[in-house]
């Protein structure tokens, strides 16, 4: 191959289900992303390669992979910026692999469902959207934890998820905090029930792996710390909102 290039080592699945790695040489331009590299491999080197993507601009959260062991969105990771001689691309952890880099997000979304993630309207007939000022103290906390794209990178990076199957994981707990603090939500104290207990927020040891990999710059560890204070002290200590 002429010009600049990089070796990309991709985790593959054999027809009998066995996992192995395969190296591909990929041209490197200034804006080449991991997704571009996978598309290049698929088109020019191996049409059987399987990977998932949709929006290609960090909004859909479906192209998560591990790049040299670190969870990244393939579409927003520059190939040239990855350190090391070889760029290894692997599927996310803690999720069944369908084929090659494609995982089944089932366990991630079942964990999400376990915290009862759907909004419960406090006022079923509210005709007008609630009046809430942007400087409302609860809102300011919620705002720091929104824009999660449920890409599962934090779920893959979290070692507690790997060791405690009942733990809902960082994204789900991050979402739980947003619901608990939302005064429009009518689920009340029920919100905290699935979160409390040894398999809930208390299983988190604050290792910060989730906050480290979040492609949106969110801080799920911080959200879980806030949840712990809410479970332990309720609102009276003002541990969260102020």
Q: What angle do CA 133, 147, 87 make, to 5 degrees?
A: 155
The CB-of-62 to other proteins minimum distance in angstroms stands at 5
The region of 64-72, 74-82, 188-196, 225-233 touching other proteins under the rule CB under 8 A is: 74-82
Nearest approach, Cβ of residue 122 and other proteins (Å): 9
The answer to whether 89 touches 75, Cβ cutoff 8 Å, is no
Q: Does 138 bind other proteins (CB under 8 A)?
A: no
Beta bridge partners of 19: 13
Q: Is 1 in the site for other proteins (CB under 8 A)?
A: no
Tell me the C-alpha to C-alpha distance, in Å, between residue 71 and each of 92, 175, 190, 221, 235: 7, 20, 33, 16, 35
Alpha carbon distance 42, 13 (integer Å)? 15
Would you report the helix, strand and coil content of the chain in percent, each value rounded to 5?
A: 35, 15, 50
Q: How far is the CB of 139 from other proteins (least distance, A)?
A: 8
The residue from 85, 123, 189, 236 that contacts other proteins (CB under 8 A) is: 123
What residues line the site for other proteins (CB under 8 A)?
15, 29-33, 35-36, 39, 42-43, 47-62, 75-76, 78, 98-100, 102, 105, 109, 112-113, 116-119, 121, 123, 126-136, 139, 142, 146-150, 179, 182, 184-185
């Amino acid at each position: 191959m002429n010009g600049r290039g990089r070796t990309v080592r991709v985790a593959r699945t054999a027809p009998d289900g066995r996992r192995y790695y395969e190296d591909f040489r990929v041209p490197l331009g200034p804006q080449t992303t991991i997704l571009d590299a996978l598309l290049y491999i698929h088109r020019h080197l191996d049409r059987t390669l399987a990977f998932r993507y949709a929006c290609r601009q960090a909004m859909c959260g479906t192209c998560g992979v591990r790049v040299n062991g670190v969870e990244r969105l393939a579409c927003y990771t520059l190939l040239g910026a990855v350190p090391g001689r070889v760029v290894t691309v692997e599927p996310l952890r803690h999720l069944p692999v369908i084929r090659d880099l494609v995982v089944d997000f089932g366990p991630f979304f079942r964990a999400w469902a376990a915290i009862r993630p759907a909004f419960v309207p406090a006022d079923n007939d509210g005709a007008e959207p609630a009046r809430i000022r942007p400087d409302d103290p609860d809102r300011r906390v919620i705002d720091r934890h929104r824009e999660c794209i449920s890409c599962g990178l934090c779920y893959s990076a979290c070692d507690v998820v790997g060791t405690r199957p009942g733990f809902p994981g960082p994204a789900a707990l991050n979402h739980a905090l947003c619901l608990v603090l939302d005064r429009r939500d009518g689920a009340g104290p029920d919100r905290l029930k699935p979160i409390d207990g040894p398999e809930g927020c208390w299983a988190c040891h604050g290792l910060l792996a989730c906050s480290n990999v979040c492609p949106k710059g969110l801080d799920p560890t911080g959200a879980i710390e806030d949840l712990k204070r809410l479970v332990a002290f309720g609102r009276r200590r003002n541990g969260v909102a102020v």
